[in-house]
């Protein structure tokens, strides 16, 4: 799926997070990866005007989902089975980018690595690894 196809799919399936006035946008996608942007506003901040951990975790998870769907197509029941994140730096309010790369894509499992950084920054603010279960097609 292309970035445009992914964006349209996610708007339809997850309107609470994607679409006009929503904080997430698929920036890029190809077989093997995806980039998703979070425009972190008041709702995603914690005291100290830094992006909250749950907001970063959600961004990393949706970027992994986008990377997987970019490679296998729209599979709505692909679900997270494992998720691990390391918070490295405090990102300030504003745009965060999550770059997800497929490490393994099998018939039943996909493993992604996700780096999060403030838009325009070089240093990561978080690093995640996630595993997704891919449902088996019934014939």
Q: What is the CATH number of the domain that holds 43?
A: 3.10.129.10
Query: Is 138 part of any domain?
Result: no
Residue 39 vs residues 55, 60, 84: alpha-carbon distances, Å: 10, 14, 22
Q: How far apart are CA 58 and CA 126, in angstroms?
A: 12
Query: Is 96 part of any domain?
Result: yes
Query: Is 116 part of any domain?
Result: yes
Query: Is 94 part of any domain?
Result: yes
Domain housing 39 = 3-133
Of all residues in the chain, what percent carry a pLDDT higher than 90? 69
| Those residues with Cβ within 8 angstroms of residue 78's Cβ, 6 or more apart along the chain or in another chain | 65, 68, 69, 72, 110, 132, 133, 134, 135
Query: Is 21 part of any domain?
Result: yes
Asked whether 85 and 113 are in contact (CB, 8 A), the reply is: no
Question: How many Cα atoms sit within 13 Å of 3 on the Cβ side?
Answer: 12
Report how many domains make up the chain: 1
Least confident of 11-25, 72-86, 125-139: 11-25
DSSP 42: G
Residue 139: per-residue pLDDT: 65
Which run of H or of E encompasses 26?
Answer: strand 24-30
Query: Is 47 part of any domain?
Result: yes
Task: Indicate the average pLDDT of the chain.
Answer: 92
Query: Is 139 part of any domain?
Result: no
More confident site: 2 or 76: 2
pTM of the model: 0.92
């Amino acid at each position: 799926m292309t970035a445009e196809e992914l964006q349209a799919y996610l708007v339809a399936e997850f309107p609470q997070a994607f679409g006009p006035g929503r904080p997430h946008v698929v920036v890029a996608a190809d077989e093997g990866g995806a980039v998703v942007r979070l425009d972190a506003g008041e709702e995603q901040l914690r005291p100290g005007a830094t992006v909250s951990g749950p907001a970063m975790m959600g961004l990393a998870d949706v970027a992994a989902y986008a990377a997987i769907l970019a490679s296998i197509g729209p599979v709505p029941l692909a679900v997270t089975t494992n998720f691990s994140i390391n918070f490295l730096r405090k990102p300030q309010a504003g745009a965060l980018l999550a770059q997800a790369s497929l490490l393994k894509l099998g018939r039943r499992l996909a493993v992604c690595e996700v780096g999060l950084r403030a838009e325009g920054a070089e240093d990561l603010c978080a690093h995640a690894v996630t595993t997704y279960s891919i449902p088996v097609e019934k014939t």
